[in-house]
Amino acid sequence: MEEFDELVAIMARLRGPGGCPWDRQQSHKSLRHYFVEEVYEALEALDDEDMSRFCGELGDVMLQIVFHAQLAEEAGEFNMRDVVRRINEKLVRRHPHVFGDVAVSGAEEVLDNWQEIKLAEGENAHRESVVDGVPRGLPSLQRAYDLQRRAARVGFDWPDIGGVWDKVAEESEEVREAAEGGDAEEIEAEVGDLLFAVVNLARFLGVEPEQALRAASSRFEGRFRKVEKKAGEAGLDMREMKLAELDELWEAAKKEHGQAKD
């Protein structure tokens, strides 16, 4: 694609002699923060359903990929063509039901085949556990979710959601007991166990916990801003208001969002 080739050429020019001083100083390590930041900005645009902004943010993510590929090419390791070639080969190899003669009954079987093919690939031959390969840098909720899904694929799972509800209740009670005991390390451990159990509940309910919490945080932020605004319009200082008064403003903010139930 002409536009993509132009992007690769622009990146090479920026890194080349007489190029941009900032770009020429960068390394894989120094760019790591920007890579993560651009992905989250793209997700934010997607959450906001702003497709114009999402298009632009995807370009920023692509720039990071091209930047890293340029650094690798300069080091004689690989180049952008290698990146594209490898993902093309991987997509064809892991979709034998599309590019081969394998028959599948649905999406679940596609995922099972994907994992089997993935484990058989040379680059994954060193993996000793089904949970190997879940990135440590993932957000904690997402990592817990992915670890649980991996374990479930080999049968390490509750037979039904009843056991999950019981586990959440059990972990909640253990947090209460730890809090009463006052041991900070134990409290932290028990809160972690409770969060892990809630992630498992979300998985059984077909909900991605990272997305659910992101949406809940956005709702809280929007409602809290309305509470601040209403208090300001009434000439009130929130720090001096009673809890009942703040709760009344909160309920009003919820109703404005059409979310009076939660």
Q: What is the mean predicted confidence (pLDDT) over 65-87?
A: 97
- Helices 209-233 + 243-256 axis angle, to 10: 110
Helices (H), the chain: 2-15, 21-25, 28-47, 51-74, 80-93, 96-99, 107-120, 140-153, 161-181, 184-204, 209-233, 243-256
Q: How many CB atoms lie within 10 A of CB 158?
A: 15
Residue predicted with more confidence, 73 or 47: 73
Q: Does domain 140-207 have CATH number 1.10.287.1080?
A: yes
Q: What is the mean predicted confidence (pLDDT) over 189-212?
A: 96
Lowest mean pLDDT segment, chosen from 4-8, 9-13, 209-213? 209-213
Distance of CA 222 to the CA centre of its chain: 21
User: What is the per-residue pLDDT for 124?
Assistant: 63
The mean of the pLDDT values for the chain is: 92
User: What is the per-residue pLDDT for 256?
Assistant: 81
Please tell me the pTM assigned to this model: 0.69
User: What is the per-residue pLDDT for 261?
Assistant: 43
pLDDT higher than threshold 90 for residue 115: no
Query: Distance (Å, rounded) from C-alpha 227 to C-alpha 252?
Result: 8
One CATH from 3.30.420.40, 1.10.1760.20, 3.30.70.980, 1.10.287.1080 for 2-86: 1.10.287.1080
SS3 assignment for 206-242 = CCCHHHHHHHHHHHHHHHHHHHHHHHHHCCCCHHHCC
User: What is the per-residue pLDDT for 260?
Assistant: 41
Query: Distance (Å, rounded) from C-alpha 197 to C-alpha 164?
Result: 7
User: What is the per-residue pLDDT for 132?
Assistant: 87
Distance of CA 190 to the CA centre of its chain: 24
- What tens digit of pLDDT does each residue of 39-54 get? 999 998 998 899 999 9
Residue pair 210/198 in contact by the 8 Å Cβ criterion: no
Distance of CA 162 to the CA centre of its chain: 27
User: What is the per-residue pLDDT for 69?
Assistant: 98
Residue pair 227/241 in contact by the 8 Å Cβ criterion: no
What whole-number percentage of the chain has pLDDT above 70?
A: 96
Q: What is the mean predicted confidence (pLDDT) over 208-236?
A: 92
pLDDT higher than threshold 90 for residue 108: no
Phi-psi region of 33 (alpha: psi -120 to 50; beta: other; left: phi over 0): alpha
